[in-house]
Structure 1
């Protein structure tokens, strides 16, 4: 049975006890997007997921919000020919597929223990049945989309758990694989539609700055995957100490040659083609200058904050102070995220989406350098970033900083996709939707840790987290949200209902933060986003 990362038998027992207290996290998400007849099935399905999956559901059901939110909604945002009613039904069926997949990889149910030698048969048959239903009612376009998504999610989860032992729990691997799958399939489908390769292709976007940003985001996603895939054999060669110096040096040179070649001979020409021959660097210069200097000022603001962090925030010196817990030191970057990203999301959402995409791609490549110990930067990067590690970063790769950036960016990127669509009325989105990540992990999670560390006395059953810390996180999230609501839309006619939704979302996401033992930087923003827009 595949298990989460564990250090000892005692920690294993403690973790299993805490997992029994974890609530199913995706009921609100299902109820939001599966209306009327679908809601009964969804509620019943998730109500009994614990019995179906056993204790392993604590690690797997957290992946369901990705399938239930990002997959159908991203599909609808790009392809307005798909009615939302179909997307709602699809999300419910995909949830069933996720639960079956969870049973497969956990092998913890009586059914799969009895049929252990044939445990692949049942999920495969269910998947084929789903694809047949999709094709019969919705056509081959949706079949291709769902099939590619499920394939990437299945292969990705298994690969992450086997290749990076100890770096992912089952739920985290499933979440990351679903994110990658949804985004890559969207990227592939969007690029096909942009070039009219199939008869159903249409370009639903005018040639605007918004489309250029959309093109760039998709190219960055595909490019990052391409670089990590093609350079992985070289990285493994560089990483292994038993290889000779000559072979290692050649592999380092080959790594940089392959990376630069992909960027300048594959990604850049493709992006230029998508942008009707416009050079991306010239477009970027004009884009920055066309905003009356506000985007340039925003970049300058970021440079000042990052410079202060690099040159004046010494993690090694602070880490040696035994009076400061490491988890508190890590929250500095949560605070930094609030200060950096809130002005950009509120004033320059499209520019922030572009910046998020570039930053995430850069961090993935930095982690690739660290993992492979690729000179000349790997040693310095590892020395600086390893000062912020805790027990959750016990694997061969470090992901919490990427999770933090993903958690801040996913709600903003989702809102951007909605704005780019002709199918979704964004006027119904909650005003704080794009700020969901910053409110939950920037404000709520940080204050929960600070209050819990200083004042926490009463522990939640089976966990190390305190009720005082949870209340601090809930109150701070709600308070910060109210302040932002008044600042953004002080005279809105829906202000009262927006505040009520904010209160509910703050409370439920706070309870979720207290009940999960996994890295919650991705899950909390998605749940909060869904609850705000119920």
Structure 2
């Protein structure tokens, strides 16, 4: 018995020693990268760490779903391409820990190697054509490499390295999705309603891209309201032409009928509109008073956003998807206008930003509200349809709309015992977890959700996201929904 105990103790000490050594190596790499960035005069968003581990989150979600469930051909393609992006991310981290030269010019050898990783998976595992696999893998990795460099060098103080990796991975993967759905129709067979929704969303977002590109190339003499009206008219004409081709001659009538002629959809739409009007009114009043918003005050927008997405996911997921596409396009246009220098729009938007910005909004763009919206909406894109998927669609609502908001409020009011040297408290984390469980319990009581073992799955996911929220220094709105999705996937057996 004593010999067994000694062996167990030795084994425990060895494992602990290995864990400490690995942690020291990771910290050393992170510190070296920070030094190299400073030497190269590259300024990332102020943070105690670079968040290098974040590069695994989005690919992990895609790969796990493609393994656990029967997903579409396009979803598998995205999962394999994301593995190539992770491969390049790891090479990027290694190169950056040696020198910051990788930020000055592309390392094409690393791009080629990473492209081959995803190309081989697409060709050998998914059975895609070799040329198709090579083309898409190369485009994805090369685009990711360029966008990552641009995000870190052109837009100082906007991203940490981990946040830049997630954002650029998302842009690349969404671009592949849009092109394949819009032009090649690769993916699962869709019914007419879903095809209509996807066509409208992709058309709107491509029009937004036109508006943003036009605003970016304006010189100082062209930054006038008349030019802006011209840009809007061109984008509107483009939307009408594309919808005419993709949807039909009666595209506007069909869209209006879809939203307004169904009583349940109309009620939902009016509720969302009221939430938007309340938000706009609060922003206008507080901007007029020029009173800086506190962290707890900013969390009210988490609540309003969560009400919109919670009601949409519970009552009409497809209408919520359509509205989320419109909303994302709108928030991008608003941010582009804030930075455009077109008066009086830019100054009005900048005044609102000055009131509601927090310590993380020190870079080129107002990323926190964009992250909030994307965090709430991303499960609608990432979660494939399967039994019980409605619960997973609530990942953003639960983690940042409910849990993060509850932790912020309760921790600031009643928090005493802190996690290490950080501002987060044990009390806030406990309330974070309990609030998520309580929301799902209330939803089940009212019969709005029927998912096997929902309480158990939420308790596990909430515990994971709650601890992560307390320990990380990356932007919660971006990280927590992905962490919660991964945590839900670990509860696959409970489905």
Please give the range of the TM-score, normalised by the shorter of the 2 chains. 0.7 to 0.9
Greater shift in the superposed pair: 306-315 or 387-396: 306-315
State the match for 1:509 in structure 2: 465
How far is the alpha carbon of 1:478 from its aligned partner? 2.0
State the match for 1:308 in structure 2: 278
TM-score of the superposed pair, with normalisation by structure 2: 0.80
State the match for 1:99 in structure 2: 90
State the match for 2:107 in structure 1: 120
Alignment counterpart, residue 477 of structure 2, candidates 492, 499, 521: 521
Q: 5 Å matches for 1:2-81?
A: 50=26, 53-55=29-31, 58-70=50-62, 80-81=72-73
Alignment counterpart, residue 233 of structure 1, candidates 217, 232, 235: 217
State the match for 1:443 in structure 2: 402
**Structure 2 counterpart SS, 1:511:** helix
How far is the alpha carbon of 1:204 from its aligned partner? 2.9
Q: Do the aligned partners of 1:70 and 1:182 also contact (CA within 8 Å) in 2? A: no
Alignment counterpart, residue 161 of structure 1, candidates 152, 156, 165: 152
Deviation string 1:249-298 (CA, Å, 9 cap, x unpaired) is 5x65444423431331x3332232122x243321111112442x122222
How far is the alpha carbon of 1:509 from its aligned partner? 0.6
d(CA) in 1 for partners of 2:227 and 2:282? 36
Q: Do the aligned partners of 1:298 and 1:344 also contact (CA within 8 Å) in 2? A: yes
**Structure 1 counterpart SS, 2:172:** helix
State the match for 1:244 in structure 2: none
**Structure 2 counterpart SS, 1:432:** helix
State the match for 1:262 in structure 2: 235
Establish whether residue 174 from structure 1 lines up as the match of residue 165 from structure 2: yes
State the match for 1:354 in structure 2: 322
TM-score of the superposed pair, with normalisation by structure 1: 0.74
Compared CA separation, residues 162 and 256, structure 1 to 2 (3 A):
farther
Greater shift in the superposed pair: 64-73 or 369-378: 64-73
**Structure 2 counterpart SS, 1:457:** coil
State the match for 2:143 in structure 1: 152
Q: Do the aligned partners of 1:187 and 1:222 also contact (CA within 8 Å) in 2? A: no
State the match for 1:204 in structure 2: 189
Q: Do the aligned partners of 2:111 and 2:138 also contact (CA within 8 Å) in 1? A: no
Deviation string 1:73-131 (CA, Å, 9 cap, x unpaired) is 699999834796x8776655543332223334xx124xx58999999265234225425
d(CA) in 2 for partners of 1:202 and 1:171? 29
**Structure 1 counterpart SS, 2:360:** coil
Establish whether residue 460 from structure 1 lines up as the match of residue 460 from structure 2: no
d(CA) in 2 for partners of 1:47 and 1:141? 40
Q: Do the aligned partners of 1:187 and 1:219 also contact (CA within 8 Å) in 2? A: no
Q: Do the aligned partners of 2:403 and 2:466 also contact (CA within 8 Å) in 1? A: yes
In structure 1, list runs of 5 or more residues that go unmatched: 1-45, 195-200, 239-246, 420-425
d(CA) in 2 for partners of 1:253 and 1:386? 27
How far is the alpha carbon of 1:406 from its aligned partner? 0.8
Compared CA separation, residues 113 and 307, structure 1 to 2 (3 A):
closer
Establish whether residue 473 from structure 1 lines up as the match of residue 432 from structure 2: yes
How far is the alpha carbon of 1:374 from its aligned partner? 1.2
**Structure 2 counterpart SS, 1:522:** helix
d(CA) in 2 for partners of 1:365 and 1:409? 17
**Structure 1 counterpart SS, 2:51:** helix
Alignment counterpart, residue 279 of structure 1, candidates 237, 250, 256: 250
Establish whether residue 482 from structure 1 lines up as the match of residue 474 from structure 2: no
d(CA) in 1 for partners of 2:298 and 2:405? 9
Establish whether residue 386 from structure 1 lines up as the match of residue 354 from structure 2: yes
Deviation string 1:179-214 (CA, Å, 9 cap, x unpaired) is 1111111001112224xxxxxx688334x1211101
How far is the alpha carbon of 1:225 from its aligned partner? 2.6
Q: Do the aligned partners of 1:148 and 1:185 also contact (CA within 8 Å) in 2? A: no
In structure 2, list runs of 5 or more residues that go unmatched: 1-21, 34-48, 491-495
Deviation string 1:481-509 (CA, Å, 9 cap, x unpaired) is 232244446775x23xx322211110111
1 or 2 for the larger relative contact order (CA 8 Å, sep ≥6)?
A: 1
d(CA) in 1 for partners of 2:276 and 2:79? 42
State the match for 1:296 in structure 2: 266
**Structure 2 counterpart SS, 1:271:** helix
d(CA) in 2 for partners of 1:187 and 1:78? 21
Q: Do the aligned partners of 2:310 and 2:394 also contact (CA within 8 Å) in 1? A: yes
d(CA) in 1 for partners of 2:273 and 2:103? 55
d(CA) in 1 for partners of 2:373 and 2:102? 41
How far is the alpha carbon of 1:318 from its aligned partner? 7.8
d(CA) in 2 for partners of 1:390 and 1:373? 22
Compared CA separation, residues 383 and 437, structure 1 to 2 (3 A):
same
State the match for 2:14 in structure 1: none
Q: Do the aligned partners of 1:68 and 1:94 also contact (CA within 8 Å) in 2? A: no
**Structure 1 counterpart SS, 2:217:** helix
Compared CA separation, residues 158 and 406, structure 1 to 2 (3 A):
same
State the match for 1:130 in structure 2: 117
**Structure 2 counterpart SS, 1:228:** helix
How far is the alpha carbon of 1:472 from its aligned partner? 1.5
The alignment of Structure 1 onto Structure 2 pairs a total of residues equal to 449
Compared CA separation, residues 67 and 225, structure 1 to 2 (3 A):
farther
Deviation string 1:364-405 (CA, Å, 9 cap, x unpaired) is 111111112212322222222321111111123212111111
Alignment counterpart, residue 405 of structure 1, candidates 367, 373, 397: 373
